[in-house]
Amino acid sequence: MGRARSEFDVIAALFAPLSKNAPGAFDLKDDAAAFDVGAGHEAVITVDTVIESVHFLPDDPPDLVARKALRVNLSDLAAKGATPVGFLQALSVNSAVTDDYLAQYAKGLAADVAHFGIPLLGGDTTSGPGPLAVSITAIGSVRKGAMIRRGGARAGDVLCVTGTIGDAALGLDLLRGKLKVASRVNAVHLVARYRLPEPRLSAGAALAGRAGACLDISDGLVADIGHICAASGVAALIERDKIPLSNAARAAVTLEPEHWPRVFGGGDDYELAFTLPAPHAADLPRLAEEAGVPMTVIGRIVGADDAKLGSVTVLDGAGHPVEVPVGGYLHR
Amino acid sequence: MGRARSEFDVIAALFAPLSKNAPGAFDLKDDAAAFDVGAGHEAVITVDTVIESVHFLPDDPPDLVARKALRVNLSDLAAKGATPVGFLQALSVNSAVTDDYLAQYAKGLAADVAHFGIPLLGGDTTSGPGPLAVSITAIGSVRKGAMIRRGGARAGDVLCVTGTIGDAALGLDLLRGKLKVASRVNAVHLVARYRLPEPRLSAGAALAGRAGACLDISDGLVADIGHICAASGVAALIERDKIPLSNAARAAVTLEPEHWPRVFGGGDDYELAFTLPAPHAADLPRLAEEAGVPMTVIGRIVGADDAKLGSVTVLDGAGHPVEVPVGGYLHR
């Protein structure tokens, strides 16, 4: 609807070069692609959809829309300890999506295909009356049985995160005019963290076979650690003062402490939250160095004797519980 | 947008049972799924999106919408000679999609999960302002290097199809009030062929390692055989009178011969079109019996001496070219 066959061919031509390092993609000209994850390995697969005006803003730069759509899926692979193998793209356009928009979108995707060394294996382009939407299916590889699960946290584990927390939610607040920032450099940092998450692939690879449980933080720190607790049958205590903040986020919540809940509850950071059995906690600095990504202990996992199973409690500097907003983002 | 988190949990609950035969799907509660295609095999993967009012009609039964969305992807696996391993679903709903619709949709999907023995490995449900849309990513397994390509047709090959051709397009015409049929049984047959294609998995499995080229007919007989010719650098001659028609399609084009172009040009049959090297043409009855699916020689593949490369010519009973409509469906 709105696009003739030849226009689909133009779109296909934009994406075919992204498959050139994958012989099994057959230049995107066959009905399916073939791939192999290597002897002794199994495939890990995930799919996520982003929709204009729901998951990204109509005036977000098209190249960043493409890159974020890919990166949130790579982040899921990272959280499972998998190495990316390739991806497929189901792109739904409408008659208002211009050729220039698509060219910029494809250019952004090409940049990340090169950056992560992950080829486009296939796809489908459709046209309809709805908003622009992209579903990416990402495929990775892990040693057989080595995928890190959500359900592997045990009482006594230390609870850790990569990078810094809260930046993306504060960046979104800033774009929506809800946050003041004192400096342009801080503003740029927060918005970039919202628009272009960094999938923690090297961290995930370092954690495979070591972390008890892992996921990527997309719904919010407390909500996502709650998912680990629910899947593992444990509870978590987080020390607020140990949560790693960027300079920009620190400045924002110091200026306006009412934004603290965004650190606990905001999503879209795509950092990893993971647990390590206590004996391995001392390895954290070495793992962080191996991955080239900061890793910080923010709390610990406890059992039924210390907290309600499935619960996540944030403690202030004096050890008192802090009230945190319930749940994360409603969009999914 | 329209649905709160708890409603997504209800939707997830509808689909979780569809994963029960896949331990690596982790009850759809982790960030990704793990799967293995077996030693000596590689994975085959494909994605297709269907959108309401573009690829299916708003009043199509929801259970059939789900089953067709899955089946068109299984058809791609069949055409490549692959055995299905599992699938992922990216479902985009809107606030007008009722719980009852989703329950019927899930029931239909469950029926085909059971019928084909293929588990749901994962998915993503989103809500937005657009029409109902479903992207299915299907994964199959083939012996390494055995995926049947589009580009393997050679001059001298015989050209074959499974099943009967034209039913689905005539069924759609009937639903749109553009076709007369003499009997109710014929009407039911044609509409069922449009709404619920049968992926020719057993035929694809029988053809793996034997067919030179193969694809499934979704754009139309002539258009899709044109894709084989273009990819293979050959041309095709089709004998119109050899094209296998169902009794219902035969009755329709006998009553109204102006519907013949729908046999050549209509899509959505999801039968396989394939080529066999001439020495193996005699095997066709045995392959058809092995697959339990009728297979019919409808023509032959020729080279540059006999036709323009990439062209597809349909010949009548006297050997004269028949005019056929250009291209297939514009929706993709």
CATH placement of domain B158-322: 3.90.650.10
DSSP B260-306: HHHHHH------EEEEE-GGGGGGHHHHHHHHTS-EEEEEEEE-TTT
Flag if B135 and A135 touch (Cβ within 8 Å).
yes
Flag if A92 and B331 touch (Cβ within 8 Å).
no
Which pLDDT score, from 0 to 100, does residue A69 have?
97
Minimum-distance CB partner of A330 among B4, B24, B142: B4
Residues from chain B that touch A122, judged by Cβ atoms under 8 A, are 45-47
Would you say B102 and B2 are in contact if contact means Cβ atoms under 8 Å apart? Answer: no
Flag if B327 and A5 touch (Cβ within 8 Å).
yes
d(CA A234, CA A306): 10
SS3 (DSSP) at B151:
coil
Minimum-distance CB partner of A32 among B34, B45, B133: B45
Flag if A133 and B331 touch (Cβ within 8 Å).
no
Flag if B34 and A48 touch (Cβ within 8 Å).
no
Which pLDDT score, from 0 to 100, does residue A203 have?
98
Pairing of strands A158-162, A272-276: antiparallel
Can you state the percent helix, strand and coil of chain A, rounding each to 5? 40, 25, 35
The DSSP H or E segment spanning A142 is strand A133-143
Which pLDDT score, from 0 to 100, does residue B330 have?
36
Flag if B43 and A32 touch (Cβ within 8 Å).
no
Q: How far is A271 from chain B (nearest CA, A)?
A: 14
d(CA B36, CA B313): 43
Which pLDDT score, from 0 to 100, does residue B250 have?
96
Flag if A55 and B126 touch (Cβ within 8 Å).
yes
Q: How far is B275 from chain A (nearest CA, A)?
A: 15
Pairing of strands A120-127, A83-93: parallel
DSSP A87-133: EEEEEEE-TTS-HHHHHHHHHHHHHHHHHHT--EEEEEEEE-SS--E
Minimum-distance CB partner of A32 among B80, B122, B144: B80
Which pLDDT score, from 0 to 100, does residue A193 have?
94
Which pLDDT score, from 0 to 100, does residue A266 have?
87
Would you say B240 and B315 are in contact if contact means Cβ atoms under 8 Å apart? Answer: yes
Which pLDDT score, from 0 to 100, does residue B5 have?
60
- Among all residues of chain A, which has the CA nearest to that of B144? A36
Q: Kindly list the domain boundaries of chain A, sorted by start residue.
A: 5-143, 158-322
Strands (E), B39-173: 41-51, 83-93, 120-127, 133-143, 158-162
pLDDT digits (tens, 9 = 90+) for A176-235: 899 988 799 999 999 999 999 999 999 999 999 999 999 999 999 999 999 999 999 999
Minimum-distance CB partner of B124 among A4, A47, A53: A47
A5 band by pLDDT with thresholds 50, 70 and 90 = low
d(CA A302, CA B43): 41
Bigger pLDDT: B63 or A10?
A: B63
Which pLDDT score, from 0 to 100, does residue B331 have?
36
- Cα distances from A13 to residues A27, A109, B130, in angstroms, run 10, 14, 26
d(CA A330, CA A326): 11
Residues from chain B that touch A330, judged by Cβ atoms under 8 A, are 4-5
- The CB density around residue B279, as the number of other CB atoms within 10 Å, is 8
CB pairs under 8 A between A and B: 222
A3 pLDDT higher than 90: no
- Cα distances from B164 to residues A261, B204, B268, in angstroms, run 62, 16, 12
Flag if B332 and A35 touch (Cβ within 8 Å).
no
- Cα distances from A218 to residues A79, A179, A227, A300, in angstroms, run 11, 20, 11, 20
- Among all residues of chain B, which has the CA nearest to that of A124? B48
Contacts of B279 (CB under 8 A, 6+ apart): none
Reading the block at residue A148, the tokens are: 């890190």
Q: How far is B298 from chain A (nearest CA, A)?
A: 22
Reading the block at residue A278, the tokens are: 């206590």
Would you say B97 and B91 are in contact if contact means Cβ atoms under 8 Å apart? Answer: no
A332 band by pLDDT with thresholds 50, 70 and 90 = very low
Would you say A45 and B35 are in contact if contact means Cβ atoms under 8 Å apart? Answer: yes
d(CA B320, CA A280): 79
Which pLDDT score, from 0 to 100, does residue B9 have?
78
Which pLDDT score, from 0 to 100, does residue A43 have?
97
Q: How far is B89 from chain A (nearest CA, A)?
A: 8
Fold agreement between B5-143 and B158-322: no
For chain B, 332 residues long, the average pLDDT of each consecutive 10-residue run is 64 91 92 94 97 91 96 98 97 94 97 97 94 97 95 98 97 91 91 94 96 95 96 97 96 92 91 95 96 98 94 95 64 34
Which pLDDT score, from 0 to 100, does residue B48 have?
96
Mean local confidence (pLDDT), A13-31: 92
Strands (E), B76-229: 83-93, 120-127, 133-143, 158-162, 214-216
- The mean predicted confidence, pLDDT, of chain A is 93
CATH placement of domain B5-143: 3.30.1330.10
A327 pLDDT higher than 50: no
Flag if B33 and A45 touch (Cβ within 8 Å).
yes
Which pLDDT score, from 0 to 100, does residue A7 have?
66
A11 band by pLDDT with thresholds 50, 70 and 90 = confident
Q: How far is A147 from chain B (nearest CA, A)?
A: 7
Q: How far is B332 from chain A (nearest CA, A)?
A: 6
Residues from chain A that touch B32, judged by Cβ atoms under 8 A, are 44-46, 76-77, 79-80, 82, 140, 147
pLDDT digits (tens, 9 = 90+) for A92-145: 999 999 999 999 999 999 999 999 999 999 999 999 999 999 999 999 999 999
ipTM: 0.91
pLDDT digits (tens, 9 = 90+) for A138-169: 999 999 999 999 999 999 999 999 999 999 99
Residues from chain B that touch A30, judged by Cβ atoms under 8 A, are 80, 149-151, 215, 231
Contacts of B19 (CB under 8 A, 6+ apart): B25, B27, B28, B119, B120, B121, B122
d(CA B326, CA B310): 13
Flag if A330 and B31 touch (Cβ within 8 Å).
no
- Among all residues of chain B, which has the CA nearest to that of A44? B34
Q: Please tell me the number of Cα atoms within 13 Å of B135 on its side-chain side.
A: 29
